[in-house]
Chain A
Amino acid sequence: MRSRVRRDHVFINCPFDQGYRAILDGIVFAIYDLGFVALCALEDDDGGEIRLSKIERIIEECGFGIHDLSAVAIDPATNLPRFNMPLELGLFLGCKRFGDEPQRKTKCLILDNDRYRYRNFISDVAGQDIHAHGGQAREAIIEVRNWLAGASGRKLLPGGAKVSARYERFQADLPPLRPCSSRSRQPHFVDFSEMVSIWLKADR
C-alpha cells in the first residue's frame, strides 16, 4: 500500500528537556508561521502506544523532518551520551532510502550547536548538510525557515527575521496565556502548538 506522506507535515526529532525548550518552541512556531504542521513524539503520551511505534508512525506520515543532534553529549549522571536523536534520524533516513516513492521524496534538516561537531560522534552523516543554531532559538528559526523554503519549493514564505520577530512578540504574550496551562509551567506540546496556531491566526 502506498504510504500517505503529508507534504505539509514536519517531524521534529529533538531533546525534550527544559534546557532545549526555547529552541523547540521556536522551531514549532516557525513551522506553523510558514504554513506547515509540527509533529513529534511528545504529542501523545497516554502510554497506549509503544514509543518507537509512535515515532515510526509519525515519520511515515511526514514529508519533512528536523533532527537536532545538539543533545548528543555525555550525561554527567550516567557517563553515557543520549542516542535517541541519532536513532530517530536513522529511522527517518532508512524510511527515505527503503520506502516507496513518496517516502524517497522526504527531506530532512540536521541541526546541531556547531556545524562540524558531528564528525566526532556520527561521521556517517558526512555529506548531509549540517546546520548550526549555536543554542539560539533565533538562529534555529532562521535555519528552519531557509531550509523549508528550499525543501518545499513554496513561494511567498515570510523571511527568517520576520518569523523570529513574530516569535518574540508571541513570547511576550505567553505570560498572560500561561494560566491557560494551569498545572504545568510549560504548556504541553499539543497545547503549545494550539496556542501558536491560534495566536498566529489572531495576531500574526
Chain B
Amino acid sequence: MPQNKTVHVIPSDGSWAVRSEGRRSTVHSTQAEAITAARQMMKNGPSGQFVVLERSGRIVKSETYRLPKVRTPPRKSRLGKKKIEEAVGSVVLDRLNSDSLPPGA
C-alpha cells in the first residue's frame, strides 16, 4: 500500500494528468475532467486527499477524504506564503515528473 495518500492533478503537455504513487495515472483534456477523475479515485479508495497544482507549483484546489484537514498557521510567515508554496510545489512536481509510471489509456 502506498504511503503517499495524495492524488495529484498536474499540467501535462497541454493536458491534465492525475497521478498517484503506486497507481496508474490518467490524462485528461481539461482540468475539470481531471478533478472529476481524481475525486472518483478518492471516493473509492482509502483515506487521503487530492490536490491540483499549477505549473508554478501553487496549490489551486485540494480536498481531503477521511483525513483531518490541514490547518493554516495563524501567523504570517516571514518568507511569504506564495514563495513557500512555489518552493514546495516545485519539489513535488519534480518528483511527480520523474516518476516512471506510464499514463493510463
Residue-by-residue, is B42-59 near A (CB-CB < 8 Å gives 1, otherwise 0)? 000001110101000001
Q: How large is the interface on A (under 10, 10 to 19, 20 to 34, 35 or more residues)?
A: 35 or more
Instruction: Tell me the total A-B contact number using a CB cutoff of 8 A.
Output: 110
Measured between beta carbons, the chain A residues less than 8 angstroms from B77 are 188, 190-191, 193-194
CA distance A44 to B74 in the complex (A): 11
With A166-B3, A181-B79, A193-B77 as contacts: A201 and B91 at CB distance below 8 Å: no
Would you call B92 an interface residue if the criterion is a C-beta within 8 Å of the partner chain's C-beta atoms?
yes
Q: Is the CB of B5 within 8 A of A201?
A: no
Measured between beta carbons, the chain B residues less than 8 angstroms from A33 are 68, 70
Q: Among B70, B81, B85, which residue has its beta carbon within 8 angstroms of that of A35?
A: B70
Would you call A34 an interface residue if the criterion is a C-beta within 8 Å of the partner chain's C-beta atoms?
yes
Would you call B32 an interface residue if the criterion is a C-beta within 8 Å of the partner chain's C-beta atoms?
no
With A173-B91, A190-B77 as contacts: A156 and B84 at CB distance below 8 Å: no
- State the main secondary structure of chain A at its contact with B: helix
Measured between beta carbons, the chain A residues less than 8 angstroms from B70 are 32-33, 35, 197, 200-201, 204
- Min CB–CB distance A150 → chain B (angstroms): 15
- Min CB–CB distance A204 → chain B (angstroms): 5
Chain A residues close to B by CB (< 8 Å): 8-9, 32-39, 43-44, 154, 156-158, 162, 165-166, 169, 173, 176-177, 179-182, 188, 190-191, 193-195, 197-204
